[in-house]
Amino acid sequence: MNNLFSIISHFNTKGTIQEIKPLGTGLINDTYKVTTLEQDAPDYVLQRINHVIFQNVEMLQSNIQSVTRHIRKKLEEKGEKDIDRKVLHFLSADNGKTYWFDGENYWRVMTFIPRATTYETVNPEYSYYAGVAFGNFQAMLADIPDALGETIPDFHNMEFRLKQLHDAVAADAVGRVKEVQYYLDEIESRADEMCKAERLHREGRLPKRVCHCDTKVNNMMFDENGNVLCVIDLDTVMPSFIFSDYGDFLRSAANTGLEDDKNLDNVNFNMEIFKAFTKGYLESAKSFLLPIEIENLPYAAALFPYMQCVRFLADYINGDTYYKIQYPEHNLVRTKAQFKLLQSVEEHTPEMKAFIQSQL
């Protein structure tokens, strides 16, 4: 812990540091709450950046700086109050950058947002708030002048994910291809349709925008009155299709079962969550969305269960080298659950299209 006091001493903090203790249960970065002694000094959040996942820390922090600077400017132009609670603020270190390398690890410090809460609850009310918040996040960044880098290259590139699956099948490292042929055939029969985002982009019809790329209810901060303050966890903010934020949220939030549900009867696409999230999203995002983006929102809802199905299946065929498993068939169980969710999305597509039209 003394080491943490030494690390934070390299950042431009105010006040006397009283204590540093673990904060939250993040899966990627190690996070600590830094408490100061004085009433008028802010508290801080210290994070160790996982540079195995985010290998270009310079680009990562540059992206975040561009995004938070642009959002702050937008909030100031609108005359918003309490701006320091509505956008994240990262501190400079001795080296003039917003991160510090201690010889082994990369660290960053942001100002702690007081009287703010995150929720894990996924219900129609919070899904609506999420739709508004993430749509608004994209809308504020639609005219950002800076070019952002891809912090995880090809993260949501469907063509790339299918190539990984094809490579896994060709290698058949642990002899599992034969038993999963049904799922491979089902994936292949949809491959052309599911890769259309990349095709539309190459044709110049579908733009890449600045997206969050990790849209979950718990990636929003709420104030004491239950209003959304800001979107947090900006590590995956990068250029992508708007489908990333829209489809990825619904993949987890609108699944009535678990991601690895063994009972496929539990797994269906929850239309109440879909309607609430879509209503909020279109309210705040339709001002900048192109017709081709709106028209393909149901495709986005199908794309993400499909993509996750492909990723789980590739890992199963490779011998479980990427995702942590709790038992030998875990990745196959995940594959089957994602495929069932995909089928449910496909069944609801006409209803989704009708609902989207009703919101325009």
Which of the four pLDDT bands, split at 50, 70 and 90, describes residue 142? very high
pLDDT of 139: 95
Mean local confidence (pLDDT), 177-201 = 98
pLDDT digits (tens, 9 = 90+) for 6-22: 999 999 999 999 999 99
Distance between CA 346 and CA 27 in Å, rounded?
A: 31
For the whole model, what pTM was predicted?
0.90
> Which neighbouring-strand residues pair with 44?
34, 111
User: Tokens 């990349």, residue?
Assistant: 198
Which of the four pLDDT bands, split at 50, 70 and 90, describes residue 95? very high
pLDDT digits (tens, 9 = 90+) for 301-327: 999 999 999 999 999 999 999 998 999
Which of the four pLDDT bands, split at 50, 70 and 90, describes residue 200? very high
Provide the token pair at 150: 């891809």
Which of the four pLDDT bands, split at 50, 70 and 90, describes residue 218? confident
Mean local confidence (pLDDT), 24-41 = 82
Candidates 47, 53, 21; CA nearest to 35 is 21
Whether the pLDDT of residue 28 is over 90: the answer is no
pLDDT of 2: 62
Whether the pLDDT of residue 333 is over 80: the answer is yes
pLDDT digits (tens, 9 = 90+) for 61-93: 999 999 999 999 999 999 998 899 999 999 999
Mean local confidence (pLDDT), 274-279 = 98
CA 352 to chain CA centroid, nearest Å:
22
Structural domains in the chain, sorted by start = 2-111 (3.30.200.20), 124-358 (3.90.1200.10)
CA 270 to chain CA centroid, nearest Å:
20
Distance between CA 193 and CA 149 in Å, rounded?
A: 27
